[in-house]
Amino acid sequence: MEERKCSFCNQNIEAGTGKIYAKKDGTVYYFCSSKCEKNMIELRRVPRRIEWAIKGW
């Protein structure tokens, strides 16, 4: 199986879990939780500035 990492916090995502978000320009984002999705898409936060997201890098 393919190993995927969260586009926001860089945490491993198990098969059958998480969310995939595809933009109109063809960019695909993988998220481990709705918390990561909300921070990146809705709140437009940068992962390197968020303390809890840096721990996964």
Share of the chain above pLDDT 90, in %: 75
* Chain centre to alpha carbon of residue 9: 6
Write down the pTM of the prediction.
Answer: 0.86
CA distances from 22 to 25, 48, 57 (A): 8, 22, 23
pLDDT confidence band for 13 (50 / 70 / 90): very high
Q: Which domains does the chain have, with CATH numbers?
A: 4-54 (2.30.170.20)
Closest by Cα among 11, 3, 45, 4 to 28: 4
CA distance 34 to 37: 5
Supply the pLDDT for residue 2. 82
Supply the pLDDT for residue 34. 95
Supply the pLDDT for residue 57. 61
